[in-house]
């Protein structure tokens, strides 16, 4: 039997008030000059100002140059801010974009060259060989689960193609997962990020890769997200629902060590070509792709339907997903969100080249992707 390596190494402090523990932790570890990496919109909101009140004893600087789908230039600007502050550690504070940038600002600050030279498929990929700054993460959305991931997804500045830096070295040393940080999210962001978390869990479970540990996590993450998502959208102050979605988000990111599927290949293409929010892109594609996938692994779809309490079993799962996202306020197809027929050739090209669909339960060709995009229009 082949040897398989498993790893779940990230320490997590989870629960209401976890954000108040950051300063004591950093001071105990000997760090005093953190750079907070966050996004432009979040930096202007009270949630960041409130968090900073819990950082007494630290000399704090803020880099808020993250916006939209994060780019390589944002990482390099963050590295410049790190050096200018003479920082000794990094606090990632935000959603998936901010956390993805925060994870590799330390790489760019301590290594030569552009961060693009460290993506896993670069022809002359540079190794991450120097010691990285101490890094802690605080998620403010429940979607990507980037806080527990060992990869950073950043886009090329000109082509907007998503590229991945992958290394256990960029894992957070500690995650402070505080559901109170998500209470201010508007319903449409809660819905889009929640569908992202649900997609991670579902696609991880459906991946044919061998990882029973992740299968268990993905199924439970799917169950939790399915039960909590609509409550989090419709009752924004419901702390239990917010907590459940934050947990489901982390579980999805842990589970996708097992890899993802065709929904994510489509979403990566939609982000590159049409600049769609990643969670929204997943939501717009998931029911179409799942309806197409169902015949390949009907037993797994029956299991997903069981944990989500879907009447009608696996054959009804895609319809249930369609109704779920509609109830969460995500309506219309791709065309309603700015995707035009002339985008199709480039969307198909990028999705076909994307690595995620290599672990889709049903093999995808360029013709399949074209059909899926057209069906989702």
The b-or-e profile of 36-62 (16+ CB within 10 A means b, else e) is: bbbbeebbeeebbeebeeebeebebeb
Every domain of the chain and the residues it spans = 12-182, 187-376
This model's pTM is above 0.85: yes
Nearest partner of 36 among 15, 61, 58, judged by Cα:
61
Question: Would you state the pLDDT for residue 160?
Answer: 81
Question: Would you state the pLDDT for residue 34?
Answer: 98
Tell me the fold of 12-182: Rossmann fold (3.40.50)
**57 token code pair:** 């004893």
The b-or-e profile of 229-246 (16+ CB within 10 A means b, else e) is: bbebbeebebeebbbbbb
| Cα end-to-end distance, the chain, whole Å | 45
pLDDT in tens, 226-241: 999 999 999 999 999 9
Question: Would you state the pLDDT for residue 4?
Answer: 55
List the beta strands (DSSP E) in 157-220.
162-166, 174-177
Instruction: Count CB atoms within 10 A of the CB of residue 306.
Output: 14
Q: How far is it, in rounded angstroms, from Cα 303 to Cα 314?
A: 7
Q: How far is it, in rounded angstroms, from Cα 176 to Cα 233?
A: 23
Question: Would you state the pLDDT for residue 220?
Answer: 98
Low-confidence ranges of the chain (pLDDT < 50): none
**9 token code pair:** 């190494």
CATH superfamily of this structure's domain 187-376: Dehydroquinate synthase-like - alpha domain (1.20.1090.10)
Question: Would you state the pLDDT for residue 88?
Answer: 97
Nearest partner of 214 among 251, 241, 166, judged by Cα:
251
133, 151 in Cβ contact below 8 A?
Answer: no
């Amino acid at each position: 039997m082949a040897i398989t390596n498993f790893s779940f190494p990230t320490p997590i402090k989870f629960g209401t008030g976890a954000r108040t523990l950051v300063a004591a932790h950093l001071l105990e570890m000997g760090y005093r000059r953190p750079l907070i990496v966050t996004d432009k919109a979040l930096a202007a909101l009270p949630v960041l100002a409130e968090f900073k009140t819990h950082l007494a004893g630290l000399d704090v600087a803020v880099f808020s140059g993250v916006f939209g789908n994060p780019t390589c230039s944002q990482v390099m600007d963050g590295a410049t801010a790190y050096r200018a502050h003479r920082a000794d550690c990094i606090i990632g504070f935000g959603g998936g974009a901010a956390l993805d940038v925060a994870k590799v600002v330390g790489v760019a600050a301590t290594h030569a060259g552009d961060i693009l030279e460290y993506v896993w498929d670069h022809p002359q990929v540079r190794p991450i060989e120097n010691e990285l700054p101490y890094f802690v993460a605080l998620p403010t959305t429940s979607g990507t689960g980037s806080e527990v991931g060992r990869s950073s997804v950043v886009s090329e500045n000109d082509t907007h193609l998503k590229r991945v830096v992958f290394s256990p070295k960029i894992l957070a040393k500690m995650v402070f997962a505080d559901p109170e940080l998500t209470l201010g999210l508007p319903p449409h962001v809660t819905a889009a990020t929640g569908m992202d978390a649900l997609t991670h869990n579902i696609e991880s479970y459906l991946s044919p890769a061998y990882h029973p540990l992740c299968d268990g996590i993905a199924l439970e993450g799917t169950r939790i997200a399915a039960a909590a998502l609509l409550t989090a959208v419709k009752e924004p102050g419901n702390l239990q629902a917010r907590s459940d979605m934050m947990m489901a988000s982390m579980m999805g990111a842990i589970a996708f060590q097992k890899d993802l599927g065709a929904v994510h290949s489509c979403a990566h293409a939609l982000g590159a070509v049409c600049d769609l929010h990643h969670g929204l892109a997943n939501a717009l594609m998931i029911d179409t792709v799942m309806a197409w996938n169902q015949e390949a692994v009907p037993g797994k779809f029956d299991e997903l339907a069981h944990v989500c309490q879907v009447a009608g079993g696996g054959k009804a799962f895609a319809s249930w997903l369609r109704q779920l996202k509609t109830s969460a306020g995500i309506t219309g197809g791709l065309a309603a969100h700015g995707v035009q027929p002339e985008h199709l050739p480039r969307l198909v090209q990028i999705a076909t080249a994307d690595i995620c669909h290599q672990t889709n339960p049903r093999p995808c060709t360029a013709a399949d992707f074209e059909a899926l995009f057209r069906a989702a229009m």
